[in-house]
Amino acid sequence: MPILWSAILAAVVLLGHRLVPDGIGRLGSLIEAFLPWTGLSIPVLLVLAMLRRSPRGLAAVLLPLVAWLITFGGYLLPRDTGMPDLTVLQHNVSDENPDPAGTAHALLAAHPDLVGLEEVLPETAPVYDGVLAGELPFHAVRGTVGLWSRYPLVEAEAIDIRPHDPGADWNRGLRAVARTPAGDLAVYVAHLPSVRIGVTGFASARRDESRRKLDALLAADRAARLLVIGDLNTTVHDRGLDTLTPLPEDFAFTWPASAPVARIDQVLARSMTVTRLTARPRTGSDHLPLAAEIRLS
């Protein structure tokens, strides 16, 4: 009986995670942050059912298996997305990165059209620009976030996505307009506050406050095409993130770089389609770079 109820619980969490209450310790958001890994319950329950020689237990394992395949099965299927119109890279380069020049060279290997970086320090910004400018001659840096572009950038400005407690020098967002051959494209680069897991649960209040400010800016933006690049410190399954458009069915885990278990780096679009997301090879950061292929039509 415990196997049956455990299997039912796993299936319900996979298919009904939005119904898990978030009032106590933000349990719902915590589950959603690592939702794909709920599937690890399947082999555990399978082994238990086999050890107990329980036909009912073996049948019960089908419940979370089917639920996981409904939710994530498409991520495992090959697909042809065609040639992208834009290749965009997102990377939290880490303010402790021992090799910013090497990181910049690694990013250029993807031949991107746009690169958004976070945790860019005043002393490392010239290093990144010195490497990236060879292919991406236009750039804007505001605070600790930067954007490098193959196309001219205009209207570059800092955006205020601060939660209530940091000072005026906390600047982790920018907006610029890229003049692409297909028309102007508004590009946001954002770095939302980190979350913590502690005795009181999933501490995400500062991140959510910053996200709400970003959401308000995006809702008010009248650009025909809009792109958000950033370390948003949340996954697309987390109810704390309202994605602009449905994302492709790709895991593309980016954090932590040593053993990635979640994608907290995102590339989101409006009036465009993100067709593929790929985690790039490790750099000197604690995040992996994220490559996004985008179709403008």
Give the pLDDT confidence score for residue 167 in this predicted structure: 81
Asked whether the predicted pLDDT for residue 243 surpasses 60, the reply is no
Q: Is 272 left (phi over 0), alpha (psi -120 to 50) or beta?
A: beta
Kindly report, residue by residue over 49-103, the tens digit of the pLDDT. 999 888 998 999 999 999 999 999 999 988 888 899 999 999 999 999 999 999 9
Q: pLDDT class for 238, splitting at 50, 70, 90?
A: confident
Sheet holding 273-279, edge to edge: 138-142, 145-149, 114-118, 86-92, 290-295, 273-279
Which two structure tokens, joined as six digits, stand for 241?
């993130």
Q: Percent of the chain having pLDDT more than 70? A: 96
Are 184 and 177 a contacting pair, CB within 8 Å? yes
Q: What is the rounded average pLDDT for all residues in the chain?
A: 92
Q: What's the one-letter identity of residue 224? A: A
Q: What is the pTM of this model?
A: 0.92
Distance (Å, rounded) from C-alpha 241 to C-alpha 232? Answer: 8
Buried b (16+ CB within 10 A) or exposed e, 225-252: bbbbbbbbbbbbbbebbeebeebbebbb
Ordered structural domains, the chain, with CATH: 2-76 (no CATH), 86-295 (3.60.10.10)
Which range, of 31-40, 179-188, 275-284, averages the lowest pLDDT? 31-40
Which residue(s) pair with 262 in the sheet? Answer: 255
